[in-house]
Structure 1
Amino acid sequence: MDLQAEYDNRARVPGHPAIIAGWQRDAAAFRATWTEKDLDIPYGAGERERLDLFRPGPGGDWPVALFLHGGYWQALDRSFFSHLAHGFLAHGVALAVPSYDLCPQVTLAAIVQQMRAAAALLHRRFGRKLLATGHSAGGHLTAMLMATDWRALDPHLPADLVPAGLPISGVFELAPLLPTTIGAGLRLSREEARALSPRYLPSPGFPLHAVVGGAESGEFLRQTRDFAAAWGGTAEVLPGADHFTVLAPLAEPESALARRATAMALAIR
């Protein structure tokens, strides 16, 4: 198998620069027009340890979802994804979108810890459990949050701080990345790759719905299918969607994906 071809999504989708530019444009326009927001909330001391929160309205009694961005843990930041809040806010769900430090400047384990810190901050601020969702690398981070032993981090946190997850085009087994150009930037040993692979972690038994595009590589389709089966969740293939267009329905309030995401968030107690 040509693992480079299977996992190099930018090479597989020649039109990706225009799609990513569209994300950036739509996200900036959304931030400029949506008034119920708190930007640049620090969850740590670092420059990129910040999140943006978009609220459905005044007050604070609404479910909260956490969207974790992709980029193979090596690119992008929260500023590309603000517009995804459209699909959540229309159904009364707030959306938090954090940035995180990038590999190889930090380790993947450090990024996981940063996302745990962001989730913990949101719970302390709002007293709510969270739906985690994320794209690509963010799908991996979604699963890692679901698998976290929160009481070991802070005995005051609920054990089920993230009791539901909706990863989109996630990577749940990291070993196949190691021989690729993507893996080179992660600098993982085989042991570290295994320890940071949600596919091999015990299932937390929480609601899980994993989504992947029908036009994605065989490996992405396999990873989504195998991970959902291992954790007792459900898997969905979006017909015709590639690794980049698969994210678009999350910003559309009436899409099936946005409705499923918000229903999962609303079901959390």
Structure 2
Amino acid sequence: MPGKPQDTDAVLEAQYNNRALVPDHPAVMARWKAGSEAARTAHPPEILHYGPGARERIDWFDAGKGAPVVVFIHGGYWQALDAGWFSFVAPPLLAHGVSVAIPTYDLAPTIRLGWIVDQMRAAVDLIHDRTGARPVVSGHSAGGHMAACLLSEGGAWAAISISGVFELEPLIPTSLNAALDLNPPEARALSPIHWPAPAGAVLDCIVGGAESDAFLQQSRDMAEHWGALGAETRFEALPALNHFTVLNPLFDTDSPMVERLAALAHARAAC
């Protein structure tokens, strides 16, 4: 499991600090931003509010009445970014007749991680109430963690977690925990690898093949563990992609990742 007893604090820092691991991440994120600005110009989203806070909002990209929905939860280690960075995921899915909901949430250290998970529960509940169906939920990094949490609790019927963090205890000795302030009991309680795996639920654990060993192991372990407990799981490492470029397929209408999301969404709509 990630965070083996022999791992030193320095090893864990090197394995989990993705911005340090990928020095050219600003260029990749600039592509996200530019793609998102173009997406918002072409498809201005409706803003939904799942709570009273300024960040308790959802960017809703509508594919039409009765269209199935994919919820995409952004990453940033629960302490950075917002939905506006990730509007680029919408146009390829809209082209498949799938509506897209991208929630924003409050960030650590302003609030604790458990409250952020509560916010995503509220966001998905709002989508469920709006559409009458549980959505497919996807997410990147911290968003992949929360997608698995929502799947475990029944808020989603399927999830695609991209470079997710499913066991949080290895983060405790790293610099990433300065804002999160996780302690061991809290980290374990918020680790979805320890949560119930719903029988028959679908969980894809996708990770970049060029990511750290720890991130590869996080996804591999999650797929194996939940699969043994009765979920329908799949692990895939995408060759040559790192923690940031792993989102490149979401720009492409015809990529296997976009087609998988669309197929899951339409399969649910047909049920």
TM-score of the aligned structures, taking structure 1 as reference length = 0.92
Shift, 1:212, TM fit: 0.2
1:202 maps onto 2:202 in alignment: no
Aligned pairs for 1:169-188 within 5 A: 169-188=163-182
Q: Percent identity?
A: 49
Tell me if 1:83 matches 2:88. yes
Tell me if structure 2 keeps the 8 A contact 1:173–1:198.
yes
Measured against aligned partners, the alpha-carbon deviations of 1:63-113 in whole angstroms (never above 9, x if no partner) come to: 011000000000000000001112211111111001000011000000000
Q: Indicate whether 1:147 and 2:152 are aligned.
A: yes
Distance in structure 1 (CA, Å) of the matches to 2:195 and 2:48: 31
Which amino acid in the other structure matches residue 181 of structure 2? R
User: What do the CA deviations read for 1:24-71 (whole angstroms, capped 9, x no partner)?
Assistant: 111011101125x31x211101000001111224xx211011000000
| 1:116-135 matches, cutoff 5 A | 116-135=121-140
- Moved >2 Å (runs of 4+): none
Please state whether the residue corresponding to 1:211 is helix, strand or coil.
strand
Whole-Å Cα distance in 2 between the matches of residues 62 and 75 of structure 1? 30
In structure 1, the residue matched to 2:221 is 226
What one-letter code is carried by the residue in structure 1 that aligns with 2:160? L
Unaligned regions of 5+ residues in structure 1, if any? 149-159
- Residue 234 of structure 1 and its aligned partner are, at CA, apart by 0.8
- 153, 160, 164: which one pairs with 1:166? 160
Encode CA deviations 1:140-189: one digit per residue, 9 max, x unaligned.
Answer: 000011112xxxxxxxxxxx441100000000000000000002211111
Give the letter for the 1:49 counterpart.
E
State the alpha-carbon separation in 1 of the partners of residues 56 and 204 from structure 2. 27
Counterparts of 2:192 and 2:43, CA distance in 1: 35
Amino acid at match of 1:17: P
CA distance in 2, matches of 1:230, 1:113: 24
C-alpha separation in 2, matches of 1:102 and 1:109: 11
Q: What does residue 48 of structure 2 align with?
A: 41
Q: Aligned to 1:55, which of 49, 62, 65?
A: 62
Within a 5 Å distance, the mapping from 1:91-130 to structure 2 comes to: 91-130=96-135
| 2:27 corresponding residue in structure 1 | 18
One-letter amino acid of the counterpart of residue 215, structure 1: A
- CA–CA separation in structure 2 for the residues paired with 1:263 and 1:34: 22
Return the offset for 1:128: 1.7
Residues of 1 paired with 2:88 and 2:22: CA distance? 22
- Asked if the contact 2:12–2:173 (Cα under 8 Å) also holds between the matched residues in 1, the reply is yes
Tell me the amino acid that sits aligned with residue 185 of structure 1.
A
Structure 2 partner of 1:156? none
Counterpart Cα distance in 2 of 1:119 and 1:72: 20
Q: Does the CA-based 8 Å contact 2:71-2:102 persist in structure 1?
A: yes
Q: Which residue of 1 aligns with 2:260?
A: 260
| One-letter code aligned to 2:240 | G
For 1:183 and 1:87, the matched residues in 2 are separated by 35
Query: What's 1:247 paired with?
Result: 247
CA contact (8 A) 2:121 2:155 kept: no
RMSD, matched Cα: 1.0
**SS where residue 147 of structure 2 aligns?**
helix
> Do the aligned partners of 1:86 and 1:252 also contact (CA within 8 Å) in 2?
no
Asked if the contact 1:224–1:235 (Cα under 8 Å) also holds between the matched residues in 2, the reply is yes
